Structure formats: structure tokens, C-alpha cells
Chain A
Amino acid sequence: MERRVWGMAIATMALGILPIAVAIVLLLLGMDFFLSFPFLVYVLPMVGGMLSVVFAFTLKIRVDLVPDERLRTTASIARAFRLAGLTVVEDSQSVTVAFDKWTAIKLAFEEDGGARLKFRLDATRSTLFAILLLFFLSWGIIAIPFCVFLLIRTNGNAMAYVPWVLKGEFDISPRSGEAQSTKDIRENLIDSLSEVRRVARDAYWSMHSAMEDAVILSVIVVGMIGGLVLFALLLQTSIFDPYYRVAASLLAGLGVALTSSIILAFWLSRRMKPKIEELDSWVTRLDLALLRERKEVDQDGSESSIELLFNAFNEMPRFLKARRKSMLSRYPATQILVLVLVLWGSEFIAGGLSALLSSPLDLLPLAVGLVMVSAAILLYRWSLKKEHAEEIQIAQEWEKRREYIRSAVEDQLGGI
């Protein structure tokens, strides 16, 4: 499996570079059209990037035979991956497994035997967002190394999970001499712990990516816009010697952009880190409990699984809220639009300010820029409002579940 993926990574890279190689050959044959600026700068990298994306996401990788006969159905494969604590979406033909923010695979049995699996890369929301953004910003060529990165990372994650899952390592196999009620308890505990652990882990990754997104956005918004505006303003003033004006304005703009970005990024990560660490500790506790239930590694004083589940149950609204918080991937279309409006708007504002200083009546670019940035702010506020309404709904639903469990426990244990 591993060798095949490396071959695919090399082929992805080669395919991406192929249009450029073809252009060089045509150029050598005297077809000067391929030297034209838009073709070299936009078309070739885009075509190369697209070829890499299509190749990386359509080619299938064969997995060894599934050794455990009980795992030779789509439903049992889905359950086994769920028990391994991964996010799984299944349909009648395939199972999609997400490993982390960037990597996911779609698994299906081969038509002929039914005992051999194949998989291909699947796009997570973050991956899709990144690829769309790269093409939108005309950086299609970056999609080539990005696809190679995805292939290698997905392969690493697949190697870490697939063989163990297919061997039934995460399955709850019956133990010799185990009573049915004991097996039922163990199965239910493992199911619940896996589910809570999966949500907690998703929450951890969401929070982590929310921090990264916040840092990236603040660097773009505060750093880039601040730097651009300062650069445009300084260029028009007479503070600097005319001879050095461009260089001095550029340095001042860049300096402010870098300093403010670093300070903001540091402040944001410091603010969010405790929450991320807390989620991480929940995942660790749930991992330990799962290990204990699966392997019966147990010692006096170790945390009670049922108590941990009840505590985690109370934390579930918070986990679910954090899971939904991954801003850039929560509403991808809206977020792409916000980003594009901010980027274009800031360019218009910077250009408009500089035009305004030379010709006070030239208000149009500045007005367009302000409208675009205002639209981005309104859109962003709207998505926040929508998110807030969803959070309230989740909290209400969990409060109902809490009420239900409270009354059910009283029934079960006889009037607590």
C-alpha cells in the first residue's frame, strides 16, 4: 500500500508539471504563443494544478484482504472505524472516514470478491476550501505540492489505522467464559466512550483550526490591510525624501504589518490555548478509559468509566459547540466570499486612498472598497448570528437529554 502511494505522489507531481514541460517542448519547436504572459502565468499552472487534483482524488488504492470475516460488510467496517474513534459517514456502497482536518478516505469493497477493499482520497471541508481558494486566487500551481502533501499525510493516517481496524483490533470480540450481561456492559461502555471521544477529538481539532483560522484572518485583515493603507498613505506624503519614498513607505508598511500580525497572533494563541489544552485532556482521559475497557488494563483508583461518561455527557454541549466553531470550514461558501470581499475591498481602499490624495474628486475606488468591506462585515455578522442560533438549539436539546437521563436514572435505581 505504502509503495503505491509514493508512486501516486510522484505521478501527481509529474502530471502537474506536465503542461509546463509540454509548453517548453512547443516553445523549442518555435511556437512563441506559449511565451505569452497570461498563458505562462495563469493557464499553465491552473491546468497543472487541476490535473494533480483530479489525479489525486480519483485514483484508487487497494488494501490487503480483510482478514476478519465479520468485517466484510460496509456496515461492519463503518462500525469498526467508529469504535476506533474516527468520524465516519456511510452509505450502502462505501464508508468515508475522516482522520483529521485535512485527510479523509472513501473505502469500498471491490466488486469481484467482496473481501478486498480499495480506497481513494476524499476532500474534507478544509481541503475543499483550500483547493478552491488556491484556484480562485490564481495560485493553482500550489495545488500540485498540496496534493502530494495530502497523499502522503493521508497514507500516513491510513497506515496508522486501517491495518489495525481490519484486523478487528478495535472490535469488541467476545471473551472466553464471559457472561452475556458482562459483554453487554462492555459493548455499551465502549460504544459510548468511542462516541464521546470522537466528539471531543473533533472539538479539539475544530478549536485548534479555529485558532489557526483566527491567526490567519487577523494577519490578513490587520497586517495586510494596515500595512497596505500605511504604505499608500506614506507614499503620498512628504515625510520621506522623494528619492527613498517608495522604499521607506514599503519598509514602514511591511514593518507595521509584520509587528501587528505577530503581536495579534501571539495574543490570540495565548487566549485560546487553555481551552484547547482542556479539550486535549478530555481526549486523553477518554482514550485511557477506552484502552481500559478494550484491554482490561485496570488498577485501583483509576477513573470510573461510567462516571467519566456522565461528566463527559455534561460537557457534550460545549464539545459540540467547539466542534461547530471551526470558522473557515463551518460555512465554506460564506467564508470564501468574506475573504474575497476583504481582499478585494482592501485593495480598492488602498488604491482609492492613494488616488484621493492626488485627485480629491476621485472617490469611486474608495467607495467601492468601503462597500465591499462593509458587505464582508455584514456577511460575517450574519454567519455569527446563524451560528449563535444553532448553539442555542444544541444547548436546549442537551438540556432535554439531561432531564430525560435524570428521570430515567431515578426510575432505574429506585427513587434516588
Chain B
Amino acid sequence: MDRPDFYVLARILERLWREGRPMLKTRLQLATNVNYDLLMKYLAWLRSRGFIALEENDGHEVVALTPEGEQAYLKLVRLMNEVIRPQD
């Protein structure tokens, strides 16, 4: 993937963080509203950077947010807060 859409990345990270536990790929696809093939590409990209991990659960592959992924999401949220905050 050349240049992933930042919005989609943020959406996936947020969904995994909100869930608080590993998610089935199909559920993640439904929750993030991303085309399945595209989701696979994004998951590969996130995995290559250590933000997510793929695990086995009852014979199904599930997606888990790693501590690095959670930190990356926290940094994004903090960054957003920093630029938005003082408006008066």
C-alpha cells in the first residue's frame, strides 16, 4: 500500500481500542464500514508497524490491538487535542 488513508487507519485503531478485546475480521469490517479487501491491506500495513497482531481464537483469526497500537492511537488523540484546544 503506497499511502494509506489516515482516516481509515484512525477508524480501525479506534474501533479496536473501543472494543477492548480482539475482534473477528468480519466484525471489524462491519464496524469500520471498510471494504473487506481494503481492510486486509490496512491490517497488513498496521501489522507491519506492530500496531496490531493477528491471533487464533476457536479456529478463527482475530485482530488485537497491541500496546504500541494503543499508544499510537493515544498520540493521535493527544495531537488532535493539542491543535484544537484553545479557541478563545
Spell out A's residues near B (CB within 8 Å). 87, 89, 181-182, 184-185, 188-189, 191-192, 195-196, 198-199, 298, 300-301, 304-307, 309-310, 313, 316, 320, 401, 404-405, 408-409, 412-414, 416
Contact = CB atoms under 8 A, between A and B. Distances in A.
Contacts of A310: 6-7, 10, 80
A280 B15 CA distance: 26
B72 A306 contact: no
The 3 A-B pairs at the shortest CB distance, nearest first, are namely A300-B31, A188-B77, A188-B81
A306 B75 contact: no
A414 B75 CA distance: 12
A408 B84 contact: no
Contact of B77 (A192, A404, A414): A192
B11 A306 contact: yes
Contacts of B73: 185, 306
B21 to A, nearest CB: 13
Contacts of B14: 304-307
Name the prevailing secondary structure of the B interface residues: helix
A409 B31 contact: no
A181 B15 contact: no
The residue in B11, B13, B71, B83 that gathers the most chain A C-beta atoms within 10 A of its C-beta is B83
Nearest to B84: A192
A195 B85 contact: yes
B79 to A, nearest CB: 5
B53 interface: no
B60 interface: no
A307 B7 contact: yes
The residue in A181, A182, A185, A320 that gathers the most chain B C-beta atoms within 10 A of its C-beta is A185
B88 interface: yes
Interface residues of B, number: 36
A404 B79 CA distance: 10
8 contacts: A181-B71, A189-B81, A191-B85, A192-B81, A198-B87, A408-B79, A412-B76, A413-B49
Contact of B31 (A188, A301, A320, A414): A301
Nearest to A406: B6
A365 B85 CA distance: 54
Contacts of A320: 87
Given A188-B78, A304-B14, A413-B76, 13 more contacts: A181-B71, A182-B17, A182-B20, A199-B87, A300-B27, A301-B31, A301-B33, A304-B10, A306-B76, A307-B14, A310-B10, A401-B83, A409-B76
Contact of A316 (B32, B84, B88): B84
B84 A196 contact: yes
A87 B86 CA distance: 12
Given A196-B84, A298-B18, A404-B83, A189 B6 contact: no
B59 interface: no
B75 A192 contact: no
Contacts of B4: 416
A195 B87 contact: yes
A195 B18 CA distance: 22
Nearest to A186: B77
A189 B85 CA distance: 11
B80 A414 contact: no
Contacts of B15: 304
Contacts of B78: 184, 188
A416 to B, nearest CB: 6
A412 B84 contact: no
B42 to A, nearest CB: 12
B11 A307 contact: yes
Interface in B1-37: 3-4, 6-7, 9-11, 13-15, 17-18, 20, 27, 30-33
B72 A412 contact: yes
Interface in B50-88: 70-81, 83-85, 87-88
A405 B9 contact: no
A304 B74 CA distance: 15
The residue in A184, A307, A313 that gathers the most chain B C-beta atoms within 10 A of its C-beta is A307
Given A310-B80, A404-B83, A181 B74 contact: yes
B6 A181 contact: no
Contacts of A416: 3-4, 6, 9
